[in-house]
Structures are given as C-alpha cells and as structure tokens.
Amino acid sequence: MAEHTSRNSASAVLTNLVRLLPDLEPLYKDIHAHPELSMHETRTAGIAADRLRKAGYEVTTGVGKTGVVGLLRNGEGPTVMLRADMDALPIAENTGLAYASRISAKDAEGNTVPVGHMCGHDMHIAWLVGAATLLSQARDAWKGTLMAVFQPGEETAQGAQAMIDDGLLKRFPTPDVVLGQHVMVGPAGTVAGSAGPITSAADSLQIRLFGRGAHGSMPQASIDPVVMAASVVLRLQTIVSREVAANDAAVVTVGVLQAGTKENVIPDDAIIKLNVRTFDAGVRKHVLAAIERIVNAEAEASGAPRKPEITPLDRYPLNVNDETASNRIAEAFRGYFSADRMKHTGPAPASEDFGCFGTAWQVPSVFWFVGGNDPKTYAEAKAAGKLNELPVNHSPQFAPVLHPTLETGVEALVVGALAWLGPS
C-alpha cells in the first residue's frame, strides 16, 4: 500500500514533466555551451538561484564561494537534500554538437585553458532544476522540506567541504537523507545503484624528484631525474599487481610526467603527478605507504642530492551508500520504473565529494547512476564487445544523449525525494 501511494505521489508530481521539457532542454544546452571551472561557477550559480527563486524557494547564494542552497518548506515532515554539482573541466570539447563549448578561461595557475562540461554536471543542474520545479508545482502531493543544493568545485574536491566550512550545517536544516546522482556510461533511460561503497576514495599526489643537471653529452656529470622518474613510474605499477590482494581493488595511474626543456640538456628535476583509487581504508593506507617507499628508494638508489617532495593535491572520500536508505530508494524506484530500467551496479572507480555532506551531518546518503548513451548504440557496442570504446566521463567526446537522459534524471530525483517526503 505504501509503495502504491508513493507511486501515485510521483505520478502527481511528474505529470507536468512533459510540459517542462521544452524549458529544461534549452537550459541544459545553455549551461553546456557556457561551462565554468571549479569554484568559478558564477554564471551557472546565478542561473540555478534564479530558477529556484521563480519556483518559490528561499535561496541563499555564495555558500562556499559559489554554492547555492534553496529551501522549500511545505509543512511538517522530513527534510530531503538533493545535490547537483556545477563545475566543468579544463578539456577542449570534441563532440561536434551544435551547442558545444568554445569557452576558454584562466585556471588556478593562471594558464589559459579550454573549458568543457565533459563530466555531465550540466545535465545534473538541469535535473535538479527540473525536480525542484516539479515538486514546487505539486505541493499537495507531499509534506516536509526540500533542500536543493547546487555545489561548486566537485572536480577539485573543494566544493562540498567549502560549503560545509561556510556554515552549511549551522545555517540550514539537518536533512533526514542526502540524495545525489551522476550521468554515466549506460543505456539512457536506466538507473543503477547498490548499497555499500558506490564510488572510490581518491588521492592525487605530486612527486618532485631532484637530480643534477648536465649537458646531454656528459651524463656522467649528472644525476638524471628523467631516468629516476622512469624507474619510479615502472615500479609504481607493481603496487597493484604485486602488493594488493586479488580480491581487493586499487588503481594507481600516473597522469603527468614532466622533465626538461631541451633534448640535449639533462634537467635538475622531474615532476610526476599520480592518482590512486581504492575501496578500503586499509588498502588505501598500504598503497600510499608503498608509493612513498618506492619514490624514496628509487631516489636513494639514483644518488639523488635530496629526498623527493611528495605533495597531496586533492582527496576524495570513499562514498558509501547507507544500506537502509538504499533499500528505500530501490523500493521507490521499483514502484515507478519498469524492471528493464533498473540496474544493479558494483562500486565505480570514479570518485566524488558527495559523501562529505552525509558524513558531516551524520545522516544517511544515497548516490546512484543514470545512463547517458543511446540505448541502441550501447546495445550494439555491448554485443560487439566494444563497450570500452564508448566515450566515458572526462573524454573530449563525452556527450549524453539528450533524451531520455534528461527525463530519467528528473524522474529519479523526484521519486527518490518522495520516498521520504510523500505522500501528504
């Protein structure tokens, strides 16, 4: 009976979705064409705030620099937080879309870089605007308080913590649950999730190796940091293959290797930047310790004049879906979505700072995925064993198919929120 009532509430709220789509589609395209880098989402935040105000929300801007919080109080009942991230990436878009980004901007180091929504946060914004609008239009179908949070700086792991540090917990009601979602590779129209770990912990590090420069024709006068860096990179690959158990999981990826400016000059130093993904606190501790051990040992073996500098760049927490809340979401989804639209997924090696909110408030949180690929294209790639060839998040070619991805994300947020808020 409860599931049936919840389904009726969802249907009542979502009845206006078809009429809202002609407004949400240009909103999505506009945000896609005007991406902004992490912690600089001023235009995007302004659009989100304006949409919330028009829908009747109490709006607070500038939370954690560019974050936006909207509150819709609709009588006594639970408080549900829905979160969308807003930032884009320093990537040149190569999708060929008519509304593709042609934006460039200054990054944190002052370099001019291309900017593109190559992770789908533009879709997340449109989803939350849509869900917040529909829930406001159908207040007779639910009771409680809806908190819509548009978060900056997810790509740099700054935004969630910045909002928390700016008094999020004291300035706004404590939610009963925190809900979020992400567009990912998968057939559009589907939702996927599971209880337990859902996205990995991530640690990014910069390693500076010190050598002694010399002329390329006189290597005996040098301590070559390029060779040292090459040895480090190769040895780091043994951590996962030889130090992590087969039934555990870890990823160690070197994404940057920089040294020198000219082919006949041995430089003084080399820079390595790497990223670690883990799903277990013990594995994380071991991998990070192994990186430090290998880096220092290779430097010592090379006769480096000083110890390497190992500098943390950013860190994402392990994102764990609360089991009870996840089961509640799954039940609500089963009551609305057909069986072929619901998928079970294990933890993804991608990382998110979404979990910071539930941890800070000490309340349950649930995060799930929404497919963004044309279903026919996805099915053909799967049948041909070529799923790895589909553009993934952070690829210059990543572009979710607009429909039914747009509708599905709005539906999922509404149905999820109503698992706590509905019926009135």
- The answer to the question of whether 40 is labelled as a binding residue is no
Q: Where are the alpha helices (DSSP H) in 314-363?
A: 323-336, 355-361
- The answer to the question of whether 119 is labelled as a binding residue is yes
- The answer to the question of whether 41 is labelled as a binding residue is no
Give the integer Cα–Cα distance in Å for 284 and 70: 36
Pick the closest to residue 406 from 11, 24, 2 (CA basis): 24
Tokens encoding 223:
């301590």
b/e map 84-108, b = 16+ CB within 10 Å: bbbbbbbbbbbbeeebbbebeeeee
Q: What are the strands, taking DSSP E only, across 282-376?
A: 309-316, 319-321, 342-344, 365-373
Pick the closest to residue 124 from 368, 348, 319 (CA basis): 368
- The answer to the question of whether 124 is labelled as a binding residue is no
DSSP per position, 52-108: HHHTT-EEEEEETTTEEEEEEEESSS-EEEEEEE---BS----S--TT----EEE-T
Q: Which residues are annotated as a binding site for Mn(2+)?
A: 119, 121, 155, 182
Binding residues: 119, 121, 155, 182
